């Protein structure tokens, strides 16, 4: 079974996804972390977005997901990919088809032979259009920024609230306006607005959707 969870920046996708996946015993795949990983590599090598198509082959990038960790060419970059520098660059790199094709191929391979819960921007529309369950997770922009601000403060970050709002708004714009596989609710996705919901409420709602789906499946 494939569960796809899409939505804009900071809607709580990864927090919710981790909890739901562990309840269901599904493998969780954080595709945002993969885009962040490739972006980090480009920043380190001083490769501009418009140079990536030419250079991606020779970059020989290896992205490996292990539980909640992400390894870039063997190095654990789970912390570094959350930096504001990566957050500010990732959407521009994510418009590049060469990067998307490379990562989508990897994501589809990870789906073979296991139940997965995948979160991102284009999972229900492009990567897994036949996913059994599709959720579109949203929240008001100030709620999303506040959540991300608290999360970054807990991790010892010193990024201002204003910077986070600006980053979220800019990523939403670039992600939904890009040509290839833009951020968009799939026609058959269920929209969940989490603005005034607790984490436990969102998790419970998704679990109950899954249960309904599984029951339907057994009756067919």
**CB–CB of 118/99 below 8 Å?**
no
171 near ligand CDP (CB under 6 A): yes
Q: How far apart are CB 138 and ligand CDP at their closest, in Å? A: 11
d(CA 22, CA 87): 26
Q: At what angle do helices 84-93 and 161-177 cross, to 10 degrees?
A: 10
Q: How far apart are CB 141 and ligand CDP at their closest, in Å? A: 12
Closest CB to ligand CDP among residues 195, 208:
195
d(CA 35, CA 183): 14
d(CA 27, CA 46): 33
10 near ligand CDP (CB under 6 A): yes
175 near ligand CDP (CB under 6 A): yes
9 near ligand CDP (CB under 6 A): yes
125 near ligand CDP (CB under 6 A): no
Closest CB to ligand CDP among residues 195, 214:
195
| Phi and psi angles of residue 142, each rounded to the nearest 5 degrees, phi first | -70, -30
Question: Residue 168 to residues 77, 203, 212: CA-CA distances in angstroms?
Answer: 22, 23, 33
Q: How far apart are CB 82 and ligand CDP at their closest, in Å? A: 8
Among 21, 29, 120, 125, contact with ligand CDP (rule: CB under 6 A):
120
Closest CB to ligand CDP among residues 91, 210:
91
- Name residues contacting ligand CDP, limited to 76-105 (CB under 6 A): 90-91, 94
Closest CB to ligand CDP among residues 14, 61:
14
**Interface with ligand CDP by CB under 6 A: which range of 49-57, 114-122, 187-195, 209-217?**
114-122
d(CA 73, CA 41): 9
**CB–CB of 26/18 below 8 Å?**
no
d(CA 122, CA 97): 13
Residues that bind ligand CDP (CB under 6 A): 9-10, 14, 31-32, 35-36, 90-91, 94, 120-123, 171, 175
């Amino acid at each position: 079974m494939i569960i796809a969870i899409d939505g804009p920046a900071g809607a709580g996708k990864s927090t919710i996804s981790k909890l739901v996946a562990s309840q269901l015993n599904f493998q969780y795949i954080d595709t945002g972390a993969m885009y962040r990983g490739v972006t980090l590599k480009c920043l380190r090598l001083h490769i501009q977005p418009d140079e990536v198509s030419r250079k991606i082959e020779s970059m020989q990038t290896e992205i490996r997901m292990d539980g909640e960790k992400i390894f870039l060419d063997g190095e654990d970059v789970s912390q570094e990919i959350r930096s504001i520098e990566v957050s500010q660059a990732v959407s521009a790199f994510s418009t590049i088809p060469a990067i998307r094709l490379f990562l989508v191929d990897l994501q589809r391979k990870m789906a073979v032979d296991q139940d997965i819960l995948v979160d991102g921007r284009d999972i229900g529309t492009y990567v897994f259009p036949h996913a059994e369950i599709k959720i579109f997770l949203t929240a008001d922009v100030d709620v999303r920024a506040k959540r991300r601000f608290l999360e970054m403060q807990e991790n010892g970050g010193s990024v201002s609230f204003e910077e986070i709002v600006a980053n979220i708004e800019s990523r939403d714009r670039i992600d939904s306006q890009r040509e290839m596989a833009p951020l968009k609710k799939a026609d058959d996705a269920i929209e969940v607005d989490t603005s005034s919901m607790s984490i436990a409420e969102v998790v419970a709602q998704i679990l109950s959707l899954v249960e309904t789906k599984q029951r339907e499946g057994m009756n067919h």
